[in-house]
Amino acid sequence: MKTGLTHLYIPGPTNVPEAVRRAMNVPMQDMRAPDFGDLTLDLFTGMKKVLRTEKGRVMFFPGSGTGAWEAAITNTLNPGDKVLMGRYGHFSTLWVEMAQRLGLDVEVIDIPWGAGAPVRDFSRRLGRDTTDEIKAVFVTHNETATGVTSNIAAVRQALDENFHNALLFVDGVSSVGSLEFRMDEWEVDLVVTGSQKGLMLPAGLGILGVSEKAMEASKTATMRRAYFNFADMVAMNADGYFPYTPPTQLFHGLRESLALMESEGLDQVIARHHRLAEGVRRGVAAWGLNLVAEHHTLYSDTVSAIRVPKDVDAREVIRIAYEDYSTSFGSGLGPLNGKVFRIGHIGDLNEGMCLTALSIAEIALVRAGVPLQMGKGVGAAQEWFLSAANAATSYGVAAE
C-alpha cells in the first residue's frame, strides 16, 4: 500500500492549490439566476489581465484547449482558406491535423523537434504572398512535447514587415498564466488556453482571447459551427450568462486562481516560473544530460524535456518513478517516446517541489541504468535556488 502524497510533475494537468479546491466545493446553483453574473463577470476581467489585453474579448467554452482550438478556427475562417503552420512538436502536429480535418488548405513548414517556430520561413513565405492568399498564421507558443518556447513577437514582426493581413493564431495552452504573454502588444488575434495548466484548475474549461479583428472576421466566416459559436456567446456574456450549461464549479475555482495570481503579481508569477525552471535545468546539466530544446534561448519555463542515453529506455525511468516512488513524470510523445522524459514545472510550484522532482528522477535514472552521481543534480539546483534567494535579499526583496 502506498502512503503519503503522489507527486505530479507533468506539464498538465497541474497541481491544484488547496484554496482553489476548497473554492470549487460548492453546491449546484442556478446558472439563470439573476445574481449569476456576480460570479462570472469578474472572470472575464481577470482573464483579460492575464492575457494583457484591453481590446480583446475573453470567451469560456466548456471543454479542453482542443475545443477552444476548434472554436477559434470555425468562427473566423472559411472552408478551403489557406493557412500557414509550423510543425515542430506533438501539439503543433495535432493543430495541423485539426486544421486539415476542418477543411482548410494547410501549408506546413516542417522543422526538427527541438526547434522553435520557423519565423524566417514564415517571413519568406509571407513575403511571396502579395495577394494575401494566406488567411492565418498558426503558432504553438510553448511546445510541451519538446520543452520549447517560441517567439510570438518575432512572428508578429514577420507579418508586419511583409505588410501581411493574416490573422495570428497562438496556442497558449501551456504558456498563458506562466510565461510572458502580451496579446495586445503582439497583436495576437486568437489565443487559446485551458484551465488545467498555469491557471491551476482541473481540465474542463477552454479559454479564448479574441481580438477585434478576429471578431469582425467571425461575422462573415462560413465554416459550420453550432456549439462553438461566437455570436451565441457574445449575445449572452455581456450579463455574465452562457448559451448552455456552464461549468459553475470551475468558475468558482477560476475566481480563486485569479485572486492567487493577482496577490502574487503576474510579473512575479512569470519570474517564479523562470527561477524554478532554471533550477531544474541546472540539475539536468549536472547529470550530464541534454534537453530536447536546441538552444538556451528556446528553453521553456514550464516544462523540460530531458533526453536519456541511447541505451536507456525513458519509459523505464517513468515507470520506476511512478510505481516505486509515487511520482509522475511526463512521457516522450511521438518520435520522442522512449527517448525522453519530461519534468513539468508549471502552476502551483515551489523550490522544494522542484528539488523533490530532481531527487526522485536521480534515483529512477540510476535504477534505469544511467551512470550519474547521486545528489549532483539536486545540489546544482540547491546552489541556484540559494543564489537566487541571496540576490533577492540583497535587493531588499524576499524570494516568493
Which three cell numbers mark 114? 527541438
Q: Are residues 227 and 316 in the same domain?
A: no
Pair (289, 189) in one structural domain: no
Q: Is residue 88 part of a domain?
A: yes
What's the CATH number where 176 sits? 3.40.640.10
* Inside any domain, residue 2: no
- The answer on 319 and 295 residing in a single domain is yes
**What was the pLDDT predicted at 392?**
77
What's this model's pTM, rounded to 2 decimal places? 0.95
270 with 389, same domain? yes
Q: What is the pLDDT of residues 302-339, one digit of tens each?
A: 999 999 999 999 999 999 999 999 999 999 999 999 99
* Segment 81-120, tens digit of pLDDT: 999 999 999 999 999 999 999 999 999 999 999 999 999 9
43 and 189 inside one domain: yes
Flag whether 134 is in a domain. Answer: yes
pLDDT band of residue 391 (cuts 50, 70, 90) is confident
The pLDDT value given to residue 399: 46
The domain boundary, picked from 205, 237, 262, lies at: 262
Would residue 287 count as lying in a domain?
Answer: yes
Residue 1 has pLDDT above 90, yes or no: no
Residues 257-291 pLDDT 10s: 999 999 999 999 999 999 999 999 999 999 999 99
CATH number at residue 318: 3.90.1150.10
**Sign (positive/negative) of CA torsion 346, 372, 352, 253?**
positive
Which of 262, 288, 309 lies at the terminal end of a domain, its last residue?
262
Confidence of residue 395 (pLDDT cuts 50, 70, 90): low
Q: Both 190 and 255 in a single domain?
A: yes
73 and 183, same domain (yes or no): yes
Q: Residues 112, 207: one domain?
A: yes
Q: Does 1 reside within a domain?
A: no
121-125: list long-range contacts, CB under 8 Å, 24+ apart: 121/86, 122/84, 122/86, 122/155, 122/158, 123/158, 123/161, 123/162, 125/84
| Cross-strand bridge partners of residue 105 | 82
CA-based nearest residue to 263, from 49, 48, 55, 16: 49
With beta carbons less than 8 A apart as the criterion, state whether 200 and 302 touch: no
Q: Would 349 be classed as within a structural domain?
A: yes
How distant, in Å, are the alpha carbons of 5, 40, 247, 248, 251 from that of 24? 21, 14, 10, 8, 8
pLDDT of residue 306: 98
- 396 or 69: whose pLDDT is higher? 69
Give the structural domain span for 335: 7-13+266-394
- Distance set, CA 148 to CA 107, 110, 224, 304, 318 (Å): 22, 15, 33, 8, 21
- % of the chain with per-residue pLDDT over 70: 98
Taking residues 204-213, what's their average pLDDT? Answer: 97
Domain membership of residue 400 (yes or no) is no
Is the same domain home to 197 and 48?
yes
Q: Are residues 62 and 102 in the same domain?
A: yes
Considering the domain architecture, whether residues 270 and 249 belong to the same structural domain is answered as no
Evaluate if residue 390 carries a pLDDT over 70.
yes
| Grid coordinates of 233 | 456567446
Tell me if 89 sits within 8 A of 292, measured CB to CB.
no
Q: Which of 233, 262, 291 is the last residue of a domain?
A: 262
Same domain, 64 and 205: yes
Distances (CA, A) of 259 to 12, 26, 200, 355: 21, 18, 12, 27
One DSSP character per residue, 277-317 reads: HHHHHHHHHHHT--BSSSSGGGB-SSEEEEEPPTTS-HHHH
